[in-house]
Amino acid sequence: MRYSYYPGCSYHGSAKEYDTSTRIVCKSLGIELVEVSDWSCCGATAGHSTDDLLAAALSGRNLGLAEETGLDVTASCAACYQRLAHGRHELTRDPLLREKVNKITGRPFTGKIKVKTILDVLLDLGVDAISEKVVKPLSGIKAAAYYGCLMVRPAAVQADDPENPVKIDRVLQSVGAQTVDWDFKTECCGASLAVSNEDVVVRLTYNIIKSAVEAGANCLVTACPLCHFNLDIRQGKINSTLGTDFNLPVFYFTQLVGLALGIEGGSLNLNSHFVDTSSLLKAI
């Protein structure tokens, strides 16, 4: 299986462990990722909050570049996935907009290729194919799979059920982990409001972490850099602001899959998190 791969702007910074674990896991599962050449920012929320044409063209350029490879494109970042999938939706349903955007970007996109989450790329391989390659089943892991918003909403781009998604759960179960039933799978973490309105995000992430702990989870597992950032790095801020003593490790699902496949923890950057992961990892 081959896909073109869109890493997104956090890939060498705040979410580098997501990018590295994605690449390494795909490689060991026999999935070839071809990085989209000279990709640019998808525009994220700032783009679509500011101008429709800007948002369409920022997605359009990357879609055009990805189409040059002739391969369906996947993004590990949930926000990038949503912008690319949304861009594809807009550009395929509106030929006039497509023509206009193609002229602006100079990177014609015809709609030939599809946009997939990295989660679907793994699931297309099949849970059995993943299970077969497991060398270290994650028996000590009891995960609260957290999906957030951008992979599951709105309907035009949703990769799973908007209220009760199960795809991260299925992947984790295929590598021997347990997942808990809980209520905050798709509740928003507040995303980039963390910078502009931190108190809002502290309240939202508090609710998410509390719900995961109450459901008996010993870690949170995400597929989104901003969700990870808000739940992991800001956990200290939640504790200092609200007087809680949360100490719940937060992983990218690709890191845990990598661990189960026998990939060494250092190359998965398992120690790059704010909340210490070592005691939980020892228990596997």
Write the CA distances from 187 to 47, 153, 235, integer angstroms.
23, 11, 17
Whole-angstrom distance, CA of residue 118 vs CA of residue 73: 9
- Taking CA atoms, 206 is separated from 220, 221, 283, in Å, by 13, 16, 26
Binding of residue 46 to another protein (CB under 8 A):
yes
Residue 54 near another protein by CB under 8 A: yes
- Is 34 a binding residue for another protein by CB under 8 A? The answer is no
Segment contacting another protein by CB under 8 A, of 102-110, 115-123, 127-135, 247-255: 102-110
Burial class (CB in 10 A: 0-12, 13-18, 19+), 15: buried
Q: Is 249 in the site for another protein (CB under 8 A)?
A: no
Region of 69-77, 150-158, 166-174, 209-217 interacting with another protein (CB under 8 A) = 150-158
104: contact with another protein by CB under 8 A: yes
Pick between residue 227 and residue 256 the one whose CB is nearest to another protein. Answer: 227
> Whole-angstrom Cα distance, residue 263 to residue 33?
18
**Piece in contact with another protein (CB under 8 A), picked from 35-43, 108-116, 174-182, 215-223:** 35-43
- Nearest distance, CB of residue 120 and another protein, angstroms: 19
Q: Toward another protein, which CB reaches closer, 49 or 139?
A: 49
Binding segment toward another protein, per CB under 8 A, in 47-55, 122-130, 211-219, 247-255 = 47-55
Q: How far apart are CA 109 and CA 102, in angstroms?
A: 7
Q: Give the residue among 244, 246, 234, 215 at the shortest CA–CA distance from 273.
A: 234
Residue 168 in contact with residue 147, Cβ under 8 Å?
A: yes
Whether 183 and 192 have beta carbons less than 8 Å apart is answered as: no
Question: Smallest distance from the beta carbon of 115 to another protein, in angstroms?
Answer: 17
φ/ψ of residue 86, rounded to 5: -65, -40
Cβ at position 125, least distance to another protein in Å: 28
Residues that bind another protein (CB under 8 A): 9-10, 12-16, 38-41, 43-54, 57-58, 61, 104-107, 149, 153-155, 162-163, 186-188, 190-193, 195-197, 199-200, 203-204, 233-234, 272-274
